[in-house]
Structure 1
Amino acid sequence: MEQISIGSVVKLKSGGPPMTVTAYGTKLKFGSIIATNVEDKEQVKCQWFDSSGSLQEDVFPIASLTSN
């Protein structure tokens, strides 16, 4: 598998839309804010557009992703 890094296009292994990796990080939710911790290389923050064209973002374990 190709190494996942910032800028990689990935998908969840279970399916879903293509997502772009924007940062390494840990999921810390305060309301709707997601903060990242760059020292954590086990998770990545991804962004994608949903079916209505709205930008979405969340943090995923690298082990749950596959390179597109």
Structure 2
Amino acid sequence: MEQISIGSVVKLKSGSPLMTVTGYGTKYGAGSILKTLVEDKEQVKCQWFDATGTLQEDTFPVASLQLA
């Protein structure tokens, strides 16, 4: 089975736009800083374009995503 990695196209299991994984690691504290390229892949940083064509970015738990 293919695993989620940088460059993977994913979506939320509950439904979402298609998103591209741009980083992974652990989200520290309440902030949105994501340490990338570490072994612990708890959180995944994704980018996507919304309905207006604006680039969006956020972090998601790996368990909430599936490969598109």
Is the structural similarity TM-score above 0.5?
A: yes
| Unmatched tracts of structure 1, length 5 or more | none
What is the percentage of aligned positions where both structures have the same residue?
67
Q: Paired residue for 1:19?
A: 19
Structure 1 residue matching 2:3: 3-state secondary structure: coil
Return the alpha-carbon distance in structure 1 between the equivalents of residues 20 and 35 of structure 2. 18
Name the Cα RMSD after superposition. Answer: 1.5
Give the length in aligned residue pairs: 64
Counterpart AA for 1:63: A
Return the alpha-carbon distance in structure 1 between the equivalents of residues 15 and 2 of structure 2. 18
Q: Paired residue for 2:67?
A: 67
Say if 2:49 is the partner of 1:53: no
Counterpart AA for 2:35: N
Q: TM-score, normalised by structure 1?
A: 0.83
Deviation at 1:57, TM superposition (A): 0.3
Structure 2 residue matching 1:15: 3-state secondary structure: coil
Deviation at 1:37, TM superposition (A): 1.1
Deviation at 1:2, TM superposition (A): 2.2
Q: TM-score, normalised by structure 2?
A: 0.83
Structure 1 segments, 4+ long, off by >4 Å, are none
